Amino acid sequence: MKLTPTPGQTVGPFFAFGLAFAGGEDLVDRTHPDAVRLHGTVYDGDGVPVPDAVVELWQADQHGAISQEHGSLHRDGYTFTGWGRAAVDPNGHYSFTTVEPGSTGAGVAPYFLLTVFARGLMDRLFTRAYLPEPVEAGDQDRLLSSVPEERRGTLLATRDSDGGLRFDIHLQGALETVFLTYPNTPQFTGPLG
């Protein structure tokens, strides 16, 4: 008997059944004194919002400490675990309630690490969303300064008038976000990578 190989599978679209969970987008409560909203839209290569993506967030706390706490999937209301997961809405929009991260060390500007799962992707994508200020910190960041200057803007969040942070993710196209490869030393990918 000759077996026929099955076709490769992408990472979606099944997120609502297994990846989303209540409170996953809230790393801190909205009443936390340092709470900030990180939000944006996931776009495909044609600039159309992706309605069924999932975005994960990994980050240090305000002091640059990386949490070693357990309980990411079962929030207790006070322990900061530095991890969250948000499904996008039908318009491709995601939103997290968190705190602004501090620098994790010399030569590292404060950033959020984001992972994107979406239909059509054979594997998840990794990127960073750097804080928009101070500008000098981004110039001194080893990874950000290694990205060609014309592409660095795809890694910078923008500040909303209410103090929140916006970071849109473009999976392909002229505005494609710089994506990173892991577990080796991070390298940028994309049209210029």
User: pLDDT tens for residues 119-175?
Assistant: 878 788 999 999 998 766 667 898 998 999 899 999 999 999 999 999 999 999 999
pLDDT, residue 22, reads 76
- Of residues 4 and 108, which shows the higher confidence score? 108
Range from 18-27, 39-48, 70-79 carrying the lowest mean pLDDT: 70-79
Cα separation, 90 vs 50, whole angstroms? 8
Cα separation, 180 vs 171, whole angstroms? 12
pTM for this predicted structure: 0.84
CATH number where 79 lies: 2.60.130.10
What's the structural domain count of the chain? Answer: 1
Q: Is residue 8 part of a domain?
A: no
- Domain range for 80 is 15-189
